[in-house]
Every structure is written in C-alpha cells, then in structure tokens.
Amino acid sequence: MTSPALSRRKGLRSERELILLAKENVCPSSHADVKWCCATARWWRWFQAPVSADHVEALPTPFESDAPMDRPESRASRAFSYLILAGGCSALVVGALNTSKLDLSAVVIFTLLIAIADRSEIELPGGENVSASTMLVLASVVVFRAESAPVGPMIVSAIFGALYLRHWRERQWSKLAFNVGMGVLYAGGATLVAFAFPATWLNRPGQLATIGVLAALAALTINLSLLAIVDYLADGRKPSDLLADVRPMLPQVLPFAVLGAFIGSLYLNVGSIIVPLLIAPILVARQVFATSLQLKETEDSAVRTLIKALEAKDRYTAGHVERVATYAVYIGEELSLGPSRVERLRLAALMHDIGKLIVPNHLLNKPGKLTADEYAEVKRHEDISIELLESIDFLAPVAPSASSVFTDYKPTDPRHPIEPYIVHVADAYDAMTSTRSYRKALPQEVAFAELREKGGTQFHPIVVEALIAALDTRDEVHGADHETTHEQWAVPPPVVGTGSAGLGDLEATKKANP
C-alpha cells in the first residue's frame, strides 16, 4: 500500500487527519511508521510546513483543546501572514502620505492605554473574555479623525500588535507579522469609515455614535475575515467554527464601540485628564477579577479537602464522586448548558455524597445485605447531603441532586431542574461501571442498555442519550476491562447484575424495606 494511494482513497483534507489515521492503521506504536506517514503527507500537501517526528508528538490529540498559540502553521499560513504585513505597511505608507501633522503624545497615550486594557481582560457570564482594547482603538480613530491624521490609529494598532511578547520570546515571526499587519488593516478600515463622514459629525452625539458603530463593524469584518483565512490555511479550520467562537462576544462589541467613540470625543475636548478617570475602574475590575480567580482556587481546594476526607473514609467513594463530576460535566456540555450551570453541576456532583462522611465505615463497604436499621442509618446520608447543599446558596437550586427520591425521573413536573437528573444518570453509570467489594464492574454496553431501558421511568431519557453521545464523542470506554483504578481485593468480587454501588445491595434491601 503506497502512501499516495492511501491519501487518494481516504480523500483526506488535512495533515493531522492523515497522521492520526496513520497512527491507527499503520502501527500506532511505531515511531518510524508515523515518521514515514508524515513524509508522505508532505508530498501530497501544498505549502506544507516541514514535519518532524517531534512535531508529530507535539500535535494535540483530537480530544484536547488547542491553545491558539500552539496551532501548527503551514507554509501557506506563513506566506499569508507576511502578505498581510506587506498590506499593512502599504496602508501605513498611504496613511502617512495623507497626514500632515501627527500628535505623537496622543499616539503614546493611546498605545499605553491599549496595552494596559489588553492585559485587563475580564470574563463575562458566557465564558467569553472582554477587554477595553477595541474600545480604545476606536477612541483613537475619533481623535485622529479630528486631526485629519489617518496614520495615527494605524500606528497605535501596529505597536499594540507588536507588543505580544510571547511571539518575540518564541520567535514566532510570522504570527507577529500577522498581528501587526492585521492591526494596521483593521484600524485602517475603521479610519476609512470615520473619514467618510464630515468632521462636524464628531460633535453631535447621535452622529458620533453612528460613526462608532460603523467603524467597529468595518474593523470587525476585516479582523474576522483575516483570522478566518489564516486559520483555514493553517489547519483547515472552517470559518463557521471561528464565527461560532466569536459570536458570544459580538453583543459586547457595539456598546464598547459607541463608548470608544465618545471617549475619543471627550479626549479631544477635555484633554488627557480623562485618561486616569477611565483607566481606574478598568484596572479595579481587573484586580477584583484576579482576586476572584484566586478565591475560586481556594474554593476548589476546599472541595478537594472534601474528596480527601471521603478518601480517608472510603477510597471508592472519593474516586466515585470525581468520576460522577466528570460525567456530569460531559452531559452538561453535551446539552449546551452555560458555563455557570456546568460549574454548578460539577460542584453539586462532587458534593452529592458529602453526607457519606457521617456513615460508619463498616457499613459503607459491607459486602452483604444491610439490615433494616443499617439501611436507615445509611440512607440518612442523603438527607444530610441535601441539607448541606441547601446551605450553599450557589448549590441550593440543585440540592435535590443528592437525593434518590428527587432524582427519579418525573415527566409530569416541567419545573423540575435538570441537574439532579444529570447527577443521577452519571451516578448510576459510574456505579455500574466500577468494581465494588460485592460486584465486579459491568461492561459499558450493559450499562448503556440498562440506562436506556430505564429511560423515561427512572432516568431522564434525554440525559441518558447525552451521556452516551458525550462518551462516544470522546471515545471513552469504561466498565469491565476498562477500569482506570484497580483495587486489590482479598476476595475477588463476583460478577452479578446491576445494583447500587457504595451502599450495599440496596435494591434487594429496598424491596425488603419499602
């Protein structure tokens, strides 16, 4: 089988797909085969960047998110980046020829402001980051429009694009060239729009807002178009994917654009006194945001302390809650819940068994059936878990996640939050696919079949399908012969049917003690 035949038959588009397929079909463990496949890919790709075995090792797996800076480049994307730089330089020359006088102090002030604002991003509820840098670029457009100096905003953006120190450190010259060129071009586009209107418009609020909005739209269009092209050339990423990533940020762009235009107007009329007044709340917001991130880390430590406490009590339970949290997050993401809800779901899943802290150790792992009194004592942990979750405001809406009563599917109650159902399905799935002292882990297919069979009665059917889809997307297999944790049992657990894990043979006990 020759490499050209392989490529043609598969109709592959990207080098990464070819390499990953080669890893599977040729010999996953053979370093030499992978290297051969990389060389093959190089013959069949136009403008393909040189690929070494080391580069292959550095490629992220399909199941890891790419850090933008770590995306591999192709020759095409590099060439395009330098082309953009050339375009930007040309625009600078044209702008300079049309500028009679340039206020250098304004250039310095706005460059500093943008540099400060860009490092003062805050995260909004949807998970997207917002910074004031776009707002300040537009402010500079207004300021230099009044002075008829079109080159001003382009210089400011060029310097801002060049300030990304990581590119300098890692000698990513093409990325640096792209940032500088793109900055010049999108500032140039915004400047062209501003110059299309008479300078008198800058003194009227309504018309000033119009200039701001149109200039922002022009800048955004140029920005997104150039990014889409370079992403496509680099690794075949579709423009629609880029648009999906930036869509949440779009609603914030326009208000900030209008604000930027007004800041520019105020700067023109009042002077640089507004600079500290503007920067202070932005810096405060950033500092507070950084503090909240630190506190979030401390909160995570508190939850890890809980897991340590559970581990000290019963190692299975500690691993169990972590796995349930992972599956719950998968389901939440599959169901497109917002970042805040997914975080609440994760915490609720980690803490849903907090009540087990008070269950005597000898009952937690009892291999045989529980007596009625023991069952009642063990079941008390659910009430305690709910009580504790309700005492946390953030988790109170999903406190029923800790109760087997409230997590059973109730199709007639439309107001029932979905999170308890999610935790219930994740809990049941992990219970079936983990080995306990009294039962070996079931195969994943059996667990899926059980969940689907009880979907609509015990489990929420949509949640069940979401879990299955999420695991399939991630190519994860759990259960018998796929367990990641291995306990040494003095007496190997038997292979039996489904049953609740961690609480003894509760199915039989439940029936005996209705």
Binding site for other proteins (CB under 8 A): 122, 124-126, 132, 205, 209, 255-256, 258-259, 262, 265-266, 268-271, 273-274, 276-278, 280-282, 284-289, 291-292, 295-299, 301-306, 308-309, 312-313, 338, 340, 351, 354-355, 357-358, 360-362, 384, 387-389, 391-395
Minimum CB–partner distance for residue 364 and other proteins (Å): 10
Minimum CB–partner distance for residue 370 and other proteins (Å): 16
Choose between 162 and 309: whose C-beta lies nearer to other proteins.
309
Choose between 145 and 286: whose C-beta lies nearer to other proteins.
286
Q: Which two tokens stand for residue 361?
A: 């150790």
Minimum CB–partner distance for residue 257 and other proteins (Å): 11
Count of other CB atoms within 10 angstroms of residue 198 = 8
Minimum CB–partner distance for residue 198 and other proteins (Å): 19
Choose between 218 and 258: whose C-beta lies nearer to other proteins.
258
Minimum CB–partner distance for residue 387 and other proteins (Å): 7
Angle between helices 250-270 and 205-235 (to 10 degrees): 130
Choose between 273 and 496: whose C-beta lies nearer to other proteins.
273
d(CA 244, CA 231): 14
Minimum CB–partner distance for residue 243 and other proteins (Å): 21
Amino acid at 16: R
Evaluate the CA torsion angle 314, 320, 326, 329 in order and state its sign: negative
Angle between helices 31-44 and 15-25 (to 10 degrees): 150
d(CA 216, CA 256): 9
Minimum CB–partner distance for residue 132 and other proteins (Å): 8
DSSP H helix total and E strand total for the chain: 23, 2
Spatial CA neighbour of 503 closest among 342, 308, 363, 346: 363
Choose between 279 and 446: whose C-beta lies nearer to other proteins.
279
Choose between 12 and 350: whose C-beta lies nearer to other proteins.
350
Choose between 76 and 109: whose C-beta lies nearer to other proteins.
109
Spatial CA neighbour of 419 closest among 460, 476, 457: 460
What contacts 207, CB < 8 A, 6 or more positions away?
A: 197, 201
Minimum CB–partner distance for residue 115 and other proteins (Å): 17
Minimum CB–partner distance for residue 377 and other proteins (Å): 10
362-367 contacts at long range (C-beta below 8 A, 24 or more positions apart): 363/504, 364/313, 364/314, 364/317, 364/502, 364/503, 365/314, 365/316, 365/436, 365/437, 366/504, 367/437, 367/438, 367/504
Choose between 313 and 439: whose C-beta lies nearer to other proteins.
313
User: CB of 213 within 8 A of CB of 190?
Assistant: no
